[in-house]
Chain A
Amino acid sequence: MTRPALVVERALWWIPGLAIVLVLLLAPLLFTDFYLSAVITKALWLGLAAASLIFLAGYAGMISLGQVALYGIAGFTMANLAAADGGSPIAWNPWLAALAGILVATGVGLFFGAIASRSYGIYFLMITLAFAVLAFLFFGQVTQLSGFGGVNNVDRPDIVSNPVTDPANLFYIALGTAAAVYLLIRYLERTPFGLALQGVRDDPSRMHALGYNVPLLRMLAFGLGAFVAALAGVLSVWWNTRISPGSIDLPRTLDVLIIAVIGGLYRLEGAWVGAIVFAVLDNWTRGIDVVGGRFNTVIGVIFLAIVLLSPGGLMGIWQSITDFVGRRFAGAASPRPRPAGERAHPS
């Protein structure tokens, strides 16, 4: 089918997408070092954390607030195993420490998933939120692991040069990781595992009746989400050069939810769109005096507005625009099937 309307609609998705990819590839040439590090690299790893949430929400119907706790577990494991000020005295090779952090967080994720996977919808959200706050309190109390002011100057691999004076390397590492995760999830979407997950999202009891092990599928999805969150955790520690219990407290947990909702909970690209908006706003509200310079009030109001007015987030708004333009091109309003994997509202 090559209706002109469809071509226009496709173009409205592909052209901005390619433009963004091009800008990102050339970002070290286009932006100042400060902006590259403080906004764009930050948005890439925040987006990665949000992508783990969107993957769970969009493909498995599990809205998890545990992603920041999992990235914290990866970050703290790595920070304790690598050489650092505070935390344990172990000093492993930074790559090995990062790998261990990712493995531990994925393991914890599978365990969380095993417990929470029989709960659905709002119960799942509440249980993962309880896990998240418990993880925060745990690292707050256990100073053997978190030091008294956090674990500072965590040793990085040589290739991750100083993120302040020479941010390009870390930027490209974050960009590569984000791209790899995006492609991995888009690939999984078409595998039997991905299709079964989407079946579980839409109707768990029917999938159970068809012979699928629904709790196992949900547990594996949660483990995969934990893996992606752990990647974000490792990058965030490299970027911050430190981690403290404050890095995974409730406001931080909600930040990732806000990013996902602003971007759009049901489209993977929304993770990074939301993260860019979040990081730019964060940077911008520091400079000027909005409601007493209170970033969280501003972001809270934006979040409230998005939830009330456009549950699909910015990606949902863009979707409406392309639909509208497409209809104008098609002339008469012809009903058109919506893209797969998109639902008006989750149950």
Chain B
Amino acid sequence: MSGETAVAGHPAWRTRLAAVPPRTLAVRVLIALVLAFVAAWVGYKAAGNPRTFVVVGLNGLTLAGLYFVVASGFTLIFGLMRVVNMAHGSLYMLAGFFALELQGRLSDGGGSGFGSSSTVGDWVLPLVVACLGVAVIGLVMQQVFLRWNQGQDLRQALITIAISIIIADQTLAHFPGVAEDIAAPDVFPDSVAIGVYGLTYPFFRIFVLLVAIAVGLALWAMIKRTRFGMIVRAGVDDRQMVSALGINIQLVFAGAFLLGAFLAGLGGVLGGTMISVNKGNDTTYLLFSLIVVIIGGMGSLAGAAIGALALGLVDAFGDVYLPTGYTNYSVLLIFALLVLVLAVRPLGLFGRPA
């Protein structure tokens, strides 16, 4: 830190640059180079085939929407209670299976193959029931197991891991093993024209993106504008002070856990309609939630949005834009994204020390 004192006659940016330790500077330059290379590569590919670029970009954005819905519940629970809910992916998966099962019964056991449709009620009712069911499971989990272990974050993580193991095993025992998708309501058109290059795009994916934006705005408004949100924000900073002021913080915790699990369920039904309901979903969506919040910073809603965007875009473009023959290495890109963020900010982009 030898260069911290300002030297007369030097422009301000030079003084500030000199204040950065050399190793940090090297890391930043390296990251800037990597980002420039990625941008150049994507630009080169996009110029070659702009239609693919638009479609893949939309794939990335809609995936990001789904990831955001799931991860916002995860980050909400952590932000307020410091609970890392390792069963979040299991709740996601469970909601998908609930909705699939219920829809199958409503539509009289009709097969819900790819691209099939259902009436609005046959989609909305399973959605609501699955989300509420999963929300209640989350609430019970919190009240029975987590509530009396408050403040012991490792123990709570282990408890949720144990629950996720049991849920995964019971799911394996009681639900079908083949991946299926939940049928979208038939009032939705299959695809819509998006007005560039005469392309059409699946409507439901755009619907997921819109839902994600709505969820984000609603959560933001709730946290910034309502009394509940005010208590939540205060609880994040100083839980004991809040309860000393006569607020029943346990009620707020229960509400936040209910909401977080509900969002996992919402993501599960949306993802089950958009992609599929699958036995491995608990692992993958736990991973996606983890990555989104590791990138964005635990407990931050804006961080979850940025993290979801980064993950969705890397995920979508990696599968398509890697050189031919190497597209199955796309997982490494997600790993690289994680490494890049952690190298600069160990607590994530918007993270702050607990």
Residues 291-309 of A at the B interface (beta carbon under 8 Å): 292, 294-297, 299-301, 303-304, 307-308
Write out the residue numbers on chain A whose beta carbons fall within 8 Å of the beta carbon of B335. Answer: 131, 134, 138
Would you call B84 and A300 a contact (CB within 8 A)? Answer: no
Interface-forming stretch among A119-127, A147-155, A178-186, A317-325? A119-127
Residues in chain A near residue B82, CB distance under 8 A? 122
Q: Which residues of A contact B282 (CB under 8 A)?
A: 250
A308 touches B168 (CB 8 A): no
* CB under 8 Å from chain B, chain A span 115-143: 115-116, 118-119, 121-123, 125-127, 129-131, 133-134, 136-138, 141-143
Which of the segments B2-10, B101-109, B264-272, B325-333 contacts the partner chain? B325-333
B163-184 interface bits toward A, Cβ cutoff 8 Å, 1 = contact, 0 = none: 1011011101100000000000
Cβ distance B101 to chain A, nearest Cβ, rounded Å: 19
B294 nearest CB across to chain A (Å) = 6
Contacts A116-B342, A141-B328 hold; do A126 and B173 have CB atoms under 8 A apart?
Answer: no
Q: Is the CB of B173 within 8 A of A294?
A: yes
The answer to whether the Cβ of B254 comes within 8 Å of any Cβ in the partner chain is: no
11 residue pairs from A and B, CB less than 8 Å apart? A122-B157, A126-B294, A127-B294, A130-B287, A130-B294, A138-B329, A142-B328, A296-B168, A297-B166, A301-B166, A303-B165
A308 to B160, CA, bound (A): 11
Could you tell me if A249 and B294 are in contact, using CB atoms closer than 8 angstroms? no
Cα distance A119–B348 when bound, in Å?
10
Q: Which residue of B lies closest to A293 (CB)?
A: B173
Q: Shortest CB–CB separation between residue A115 and chain B, in angstroms?
A: 5
Question: What number of A residues sit within 8 Å (CB to CB) of B?
Answer: 44
CB-CB nearest in chain B for A311? B155
Distance in Å from the Cβ of A43 to the closest Cβ of chain B? Answer: 20
- In whole angstroms, how far apart are the Cα atoms of A294 and B68 in the complex? 34
Q: How far is the CA of A141 from the CA of B169 in the complex (A)?
A: 24
Asked if B161 and A257 sit within 8 Å, CB to CB, the answer is yes
Cβ–Cβ < 8 Å partners of B94 in chain A: none
Q: Does A261 contact B (CB under 8 A)?
A: yes
Is B61 part of the binding interface, using a Cβ–Cβ cutoff of 8 Å?
no
Residue pair A130, B338 in contact (C-beta under 8 Å): yes
- The 0/1 profile, CB within 8 Å of A marked 1, for residues 252-263 of chain B is 000000000000
4 smallest beta-carbon distances between A and B, as pairs: A296-B169, A300-B165, A304-B162, A300-B166
B298 adjacent to chain A (CB < 8 Å): yes
**Chain A nearest CB: distance from B90 CB in Å?**
11
Closest to A255 in B: B165
Q: Could you give, for residues 4-46 of chain A, a 1 whenever the CB lies within 8 Å of some chain B CB and a 0 otherwise?
A: 0000000000000000000000000000000000000000000
Nearest-Cβ distance from residue A286 to partner chain B, whole angstroms: 14
Say whether B274 faces chain A, with CB atoms less than 8 Å apart.
Answer: no
Given contacts A134-B334, A141-B328, contact A307 B346 (CB under 8 A): no
B328-354 contacts to A (CB < 8 Å)? 328-332, 334-335, 338-339, 342-343, 346-347
Is B145's CB under 8 angstroms from A308's CB?
A: yes
B291 close to chain A: CB less than 8 A: yes
- Shortest distance between the CB of B221 and any CB in chain A (Å): 28
Of residues 234 through 293 on chain B, the ones whose CB sits less than 8 Å from some CB of chain A are 282-284, 286-287, 290-291, 293
Q: Which residues in A have their C-beta under 8 angstroms from that of B36?
A: none
The answer to whether B169 touches A133 (Cβ under 8 A) is no
Find residues 137-169 in chain B having any chain A CB closer than 8 Å to their own CB.
145, 152-155, 157-159, 161-163, 165-166, 168-169
Main secondary structure on chain B at its contact with chain A?
A: helix
Q: Given A296-B169, A297-B170, verify A134-B294 contact (CB < 8 Å).
A: no
Cross-chain contact of B290 among A115, A126, A301 (Cβ < 8 A): A126
Taking the complex as formed, is A207 at the interface, i.e. its CB lies under 8 A from any CB of chain B?
no
Q: A297 contacts which chain B residues (CB < 8 A)? A: 165-166, 169-170, 173
B159, B162, B291: which has the most chain A beta carbons within 10 Å? B162
B interface size (C-beta, 8 A): 44
B319, closest chain A residue (CB): A141
Shortest CB-to-CB span from B288 to chain A, Å, is 9
User: Which residues from B are CB-within-8-Å of A141?
Assistant: 328-331
Known contacts A63-B154, A122-B84, A122-B154; 18 further A-B pairs (Cβ under 8 A):
A118-B346, A122-B153, A123-B347, A125-B157, A126-B294, A130-B290, A130-B338, A133-B290, A134-B287, A134-B335, A141-B331, A143-B328, A254-B165, A297-B165, A301-B166, A307-B158, A308-B159, A345-B155
Of A118, A131, A261, the contact of B158 (CB 8 Å cutoff): A261
Closest to A303 in B: B162
Per-position 1/0 for A218-251, Cβ under 8 A of B: 0000000000000000000000000000000111
Cβ-defined contact, B342 with A299, below 8 A: no
* Known interface pairs A133-B287, A294-B169, A296-B169; A115-B154 also in contact (CB < 8 Å): no
Contact B154 A346, beta carbon cutoff 8 Å: yes
In the bound assembly, the distance between CA atoms of A134 and B168 in angstroms comes to 19
Q: How far is A261 from B293 in the complex, measured between Cα atoms in Å?
A: 26
A138 CB contacts on chain B under 8 angstroms: 329, 331-332, 335
* A249-B283, A345-B152 known; A123 vs B298 contact (CB < 8 Å): yes
Q: How far is the CB of B340 from chain A (nearest CB, A)?
A: 10
Closest to B327 in A: A141
Contacts of B84 in A (CB 8 A): 122, 125-126
A304 to B298, CA, bound (A): 25
- A residues within 8 A CB of B298? 123
B165/A299 in contact, CB under 8 A: yes
* Residues in chain B near residue A123, CB distance under 8 A: 294, 298, 346-347
Q: How many whole Å from B125's CB to the nearest CB in chain A? A: 30
The proximity string for A residues 196-216 relative to B, scoring 1 for CB distances below 8 Å and 0 otherwise, is: 000000000000000000000
B153 contact set on A, CB distance < 8 A: 121-122
